[in-house]
Amino acid sequence: MNPMSSQLDSYSVPPAVRRVALAFRRAGLLSFWSQVVLGAVSTVVLVFSSLFLANRSTVSTNLPNVPNVVTTQSNPGAGFGLVLIGLGLLALYVSIYWAYTYIRLAKKLRDNDSGKRPKRTDVFRQLRMGLTLNMVGMLLTLLGGFAIVGTLVGKAFQVTAVSALGGIGDRLITASDIFPVQGVFLVLLAHFVAIVSSLWLLRAMSRQA
């Protein structure tokens, strides 16, 4: 293809459309790779919490004239809270694909044929759907986080009550109990990045109105 012809074809795309396409490419790449990294790390954290830390054996001690008793203690990361966080993580996976569609959309916006470019209403609809997806995912993750933190608070009160009786037993809050909370914040951060990217793209679209 003649380089001069290619350069002339590029000018057939209106400057406003080129700016929007560039914004979609930048925001799409940032959102996509940020969510991929955060999603991968949060998946490892939450899978480790649910599979290896769901139940653990402990020995009750420190009570006079009472033999040691081996018990199985449920981790706060397991159960209803982890299910909600898992749904939030699933929404994050869909959001990763959605961010990739922004990159593809940027290529379509740069098409020299105006008839093949996405309509303005379709672009706004896609942005709104992306925002809705991330807000729902963030809500589910927050609810799951509240469930885990509520369990930890209840366990903290149990520690105080048992300590007052002269023993600690198997109610100590350990690092494995806090571990799922790290996964919650990672998923929330990923959804937050996606929401900021979508809002920035909405602003870019509105400025070209």
Separation in Å, CA 143 to CA 82, 137, 181, 185: 10, 10, 12, 12
pLDDT in the model for residue 165: 46
Split the chain (209 residues) into runs of 10 and give each run's mean pLDDT. Answer: 46 80 93 96 88 54 48 57 92 96 91 81 93 96 90 70 48 69 93 96 82
Instruction: Quote the pLDDT of residue 96.
Output: 97
Q: Which residue has the tokens 């981790």?
A: 75
Say which DSSP state 119 is in. Answer: P
**Res 31: pLDDT:** 95
| pLDDT score of 63 | 47
Residue 88 structure tokens: 């939030």
Angle in degrees, 0-180, between the axes of helices 15-52 and 80-109, rounded to the nearest 10: 160
The predicted pLDDT at position 4 comes to 43
Closest CA to 205 of 105, 111, 134, 76: 105
Give residue 169's pLDDT. Answer: 47
> Which domains are assigned to the chain?
12-207 (1.20.140)
Residues with Cβ within 8 Å of residue 95, at least 6 apart in sequence: 35, 130, 133, 134, 137, 190, 191, 194
